[in-house]
Amino acid sequence: MSDHLVGISDMHISDRPDETIVTYSLGSCIGITAFDPVRKIGGMIHYMLPSSTIAPDKARVKPAMFADTGVPLLLNKLLSMGAAKGRLVIKVAGGAQLMDDKNVFNIGERNIVMLRKILWANSLLIKGQHVGENFARTLRLEIGTGRVTVKCIHGEIEL
């Protein structure tokens, strides 16, 4: 098995059964996995912010930084590789409330809300999630099996 690291504002798609896609330090950011269990194609994005309207120039260079540009890109890339939208299994982690005790920015919550809007508009539902609260997470997707795990201060769970 080989790991492929997805950094902040990054994404990766794979159809290699020996590959595991992993991202670390999901605080207020969101990590999404999308997997087609028939074609064994999956992908992950680690986005920071809900809307690209705050930095359109940055979104053109780094679309995976934002939910509204990165999530559609992830879905489109999966579909172009042969995944079927109706078979996609979507799992999500992150959206924590870190370093914002007074809930001034609510970035984690806003990230989750934007993701749900995008998925709803695409007739997709979240099949598993580990979101909110106030701690960071690590997210893994095994391409060969579609297994998704989340590791945090409370241990590791399968979504």
Residue with tokens 């598993």: 128
Residue with tokens 């809300």: 113
Token pair, residue 53, equals 């309207």
How big is the CA angle at 100 (ends 94 and 106), to the nearest 5 degrees? 60
Q: By the 8 A CB rule, do 106 and 49 touch?
A: no
From the list 29, 44, 74, 114, the catalytic residue is: 29
Q: By the 8 A CB rule, do 143 and 17 touch?
A: yes
How many residues in the chain? Answer: 159
**Is 152 an active-site residue?**
no
Which positions are annotated as active-site residues? 29
